[in-house]
Amino acid sequence: KYKNPERVVLTQEEIDTLIAKDFKIKRLEEVRDVFVFCCYTGFSYSDVFNFEHNALSRGIDGEHWLSANRQKTGVKESVPLLPVAYEVVMKYRDHEECLAKNKLLPVNTNQRYNGYLKEIADICGIDKKLTTHIARHTFATTITLTNGVPIETVSAMLGHSSIRTTQIYAKVVEKKVSEDMLSLKEKLYGAVSEKNSERKMG
């Protein structure tokens, strides 16, 4: 019987720590920025590596979007950029290497990228093995599902061919389920509980 592996994700606090860290070494700052970009878009390493300099497009809502056909499934993955991700793109708009290589972001080879991520985790005091996959998992859980984005929408943005693939992330968001049920409990029984309390006190 197949058992889904536990997926490591970053908390919002850990993401904020990464963003706030002032790196003195340029290569670490660039890798951190690319990793944060992936956390806020859900794109895989290969997608970001292949994005060309002018990959941004305007969506039907007038906002900036990024689209790619997933190498793994061939399904189109389209994501409107959140402000954090857009800021990263703008930061490297005139980057010498990006202009020379026609790249959206300065992305290293996968081996070097993961090596630098380990260094970044140590510097930031994050006791998790940062990899290219963790950023995608973090987008699915901490950034979207935990904040109430419907699983159908998350599935479309991740380019999943089946919503069953996206459901592997659902167990990571127990916190969101708990909050929703507490809210429902308050709506259903809050007023009743207050009345019962008044009666008991009377």
Of the candidates 179, 23, 4, which has an alpha carbon nearest to the alpha carbon of residue 116? 23
Q: SS3 for the chain, per residue?
A: CCCCCCCCCCCHHHHHHHHHCCCCCHHHHHHHHHHHHHHCCCCCHHHHHHCECCCCEECCCCCEEEEEECCCCCCEEEEECCHHHHHHHHHCCCCHHHHHHCECCCCCCHHHHHHHHHHHHHHHCCCCCCCHHHHHHHHHHHHHHHHCCCHHHHHHHHCCCCHHHHHHHHHHHHHHHHHHHHHHHHHHHHHHHHHHHHHHHC
Residue 3, pLDDT > 80, answer no
Selected residue with higher pLDDT from 173 and 86: 86
Give the model's pLDDT for residue 1: 44
Using a pLDDT cut of 90, give the percent of the chain over it: 53
d(CA 197, CA 201): 6
Residue 101, pLDDT > 80, answer yes
pLDDT tens digits for range 28-63: 999 999 999 999 999 988 889 999 998 999 888 899
Give the model's pLDDT for residue 13: 95
Of 90-99, 116-125, 156-165, the least confident: 156-165
Record the pTM.
0.81
Residue 83, pLDDT > 70, answer yes
Residue 73, pLDDT > 80, answer no
